Chain A
Amino acid sequence: MSEFLLSGLLNGLAVGSIYALIALGFALLYKSTKILNLAHGELVLFGGYLAIALTRAVPFPVAVVLTLLAAAVLGFTVERVIMRPLFGQPLLSVIIVTLALGYVVRGLMVGIWGGSTRNFPQVLPGGIVRVAGIPIQPAGVYSAVTAACLLLGFWLFFRYSLVGIAMRAAANDQLTASTLGVSLRRVFAYAWAFASIAGAVGGILLGLWLGVNFALGFVGLKALAAVILGGLDSIPGAILGGVTIGIIETIAGGYIDANIIYGFKDITAFVVILLVLLVRPYGLFGTEHVERL
């Protein structure tokens, strides 16, 4: 039993760190632009598909760099062409536009690369790694490490770089930041680029583990769940939410799936969210709005 728990914990941590990374992009975008990005899952798909296609032509590290560049360009383009004309428009309209964007991106992906599952060529050492005696796939270890490094990188970026500070300022209060000389347009553009990059990295990591197909887009909803769990506008919350959902899904989902009823794994996340929201309506770390008239 304890072995089951421990292995669930480790595997869950590995998946959870990827969720955390994807959720980070999500929360980042929401924090700076107040847009709920329903196309985030498709950005994950984009990263996975593009990286696989590129590894056929160039070595894996180069492919990763190129994919991230492409993701950044995609983010900038989306902001410039689609989101900027909608600045200040009703929130729901903007959310539906991101949904439509998701259709377009997914359509393009499937149109170019087809619907079947694609796998990366063997870039990581095969076999099974043992961490503290628990067998775990090497891809999981690499994912966890990469995600941790990236999360640290993002944290440093927001803490010390000028753009990062401007983005935090805009997230705190758009109007004030804009009065003090922060260019909201630039902040929004960067937010989209970073969200897109975080999504693409998540896509590559998940792709290394599970292969890339349509269903990967569903991970966008998981990230949404993670973000809500942590609190929509909290980046540490997104990370913690991602890891929590990964672990809960692996342990509870795995246990219930195997012993009680089948297929519960994919909805555990939502059950947890429902329970958490009933106790803390703004998630674990979200800003609580003290409402007054």
Chain B
Amino acid sequence: MTPDAVSRLNHGRRRYTETVLLSLVACHECDLLHEKHELAVGEVARCVRCNAFLYSNKPNSIDKALAVSLAALIMFVVANAFPFLAISVSGNSQSISIVSAVFALSDGGMWLLGLLCFGFILLIPLLRVIGLLYLLLPLRFGYRLPGSELIFRGIVAMSPWSMMEIYLLGAVVALVKLASMANIELGLSFWAFALLNLLSALAAQMVDTHTLWDFLIHSRGGKDAIVNGGHRV
């Protein structure tokens, strides 16, 4: 390639990439543009028009989110390895694990609903925790694994479909319905599952998507490096 062609190529690329405006942020709920400001630790920026969350500055957010996610993964294993609930009526007893509810639906002929519930209470929460660890563990040491952007987008998109906390409340309602007719026993996995819910709520508190995107982009040398270099990592 002639030097002339290289310079033309670079020129074209720079013109294209200059269109990324790094100092602005648009509200994701009303599209209002804001100038980005440096926030003090613990501060939160909100949209001036609709009060939607924009970005925040949380101290040590990666470390904390990593710790909580690791704990959540361990609790996930514990919650699925032991009995969840047990009842006994006049000498007969029955014990179930978390996944039994899914099988009860599919055995009752409603395999589609069972499959969806399997996703909502087991598969999607597990994928989210594993995905978060895949992002956070390397980020902690300043590098990144391939596909991080895709995985992070997946984690965010899956968040409304992770329904562990609803399942936990459902278990409580089911127990109240049975309390007058049978003896109920809460298994080890019930408490592990409750703790898992607490941990996943904490993990969401520890790191917001905006901060994590900044870390991900920083691990690729910062926005300027990506935009000016034009290379895909």
The judgment on whether A and B are partners is no
